[in-house]
Amino acid sequence: MPFRFPLPSGERIKVRGGSILQRTPPHPGLLPDGEKERELKRHELTTMLVKLIRHTPEPEKSCAVAARLCYSNTSIGNLQRKFTRPLVQDLLKKIVRSGHLSVLEHASFTFAVEGVSRALLAQLTRHRIASFSVQSQRYVKFSDKFEFVTPPTIARKREIAEAYALAVNEAKKLYDVLLLSGIPAEDARYVIPQAAATKIILTMNARELRHFFSLRCCNRAQWEIRAMAVEMLALARRAAPLLFRSCGPSCVSGACSEDKPCGKPWKKVPL
């Protein structure tokens, strides 16, 4: 069924199963304060949540045993019994310093992430040695409260933030119109902006995590994925400090690898 969007204020459009009243708001600077608040309450500003939900049991020992096995003729059972905490620490230091990191692939870490944008997802999935499961926009329809992410540069400017929220709301209204018109969710989702919040479960091994942190914890990384990476690093360090103590951007353990350094390096951590 052909229709115009946005519709004039108060105009109704007939769709399958009923009708929708579509109101095109004026510029947010012209809205009365009370009306601004009602309009913006249609949204739910989302907060990033990052959790480490699972990892290899004794990840540091698993990597250390794998490393020692390469140079031992004893059984794996004997190797496991011989490893004390000081021995694990000493061996992992040598591994990291030498750069022979393949044994770190024996430890994996699974994170649950909520309240991040689809823009972040596009960056995250460039990291190939990882497993991702993402909330589907094809099979999961948006509820009345549409969660979205607002960049800090926008949030700091009130009128710009209001205009941004109203624009997101207009996209959500069209999405609802499409669904009620019989358009399948897999096609209606094309109007949803990259600001839309999503949920992700991701798994990486320790070696790939170290690489991920070197790129995404950097001050020159995009702000949203950097915030997620910094939180993931804090969680990983608590779970396996020997594997991740010296992790972070390249400036943590050496020189900055960026063409244009930020001038605010992280604190040095010896390998």
Is the pLDDT at 18 greater than 60? The verdict is no
Whole-number Å distance between alpha carbons of 50 and 91: 30
**Where in the chain are the domains?**
1-56+107-271
CATH of domain 1-56+107-271: 3.30.1360.170
Which residue in the block uniquely carries the two structure tokens 């063409």? 259
Three-class DSSP category at 184: coil
Name the more confident of 123 and 36: 123
Q: Which two tokens stand for residue 7?
A: 């519709």
Q: Are strands 43-45 and 146-148 parallel, antiparallel or unpaired?
A: parallel
Q: How many residues does the chain have?
A: 271
Contacting residues for 119 by C-beta, under 8 A, at least 6 apart? 149, 194, 195, 224
pTM exceeding the 0.85 threshold for the entire prediction = no
CA angle at 163 for the pair 6 and 11, rounded to the nearest 5° = 25
Q: What is the pLDDT of residue 144?
A: 67
Residue type, 165: A
Name the more confident of 12 and 71: 71
Task: Name the strand (E) or helix (H) holding 123.
Answer: helix 118-124
Strand partners for 114: 49, 199
Q: Which two tokens stand for residue 200?
A: 């992700």
Mean pLDDT (the chain) is 83
Q: Is 156 a catalytic residue?
A: no
Q: Give the active site residue among 68, 210, 216, 245.
A: 216
- pLDDT tens profile 29-80: 333 444 444 444 444 456 899 999 999 999 999 999 999 988 887 888 887 8
- pLDDT tens profile 134-157: 999 999 888 667 899 999 999 999
Q: What is the pLDDT of residue 46?
A: 65
In angstroms, how far apart are the furthest CA atoms of the chain?
81
- pLDDT tens profile 176-188: 999 999 999 999 9
Whole-number Å distance between alpha carbons of 168 and 160: 12
Task: Phi first, then psi: give them for residue 85, nearest 5 degrees.
Answer: -60, -45
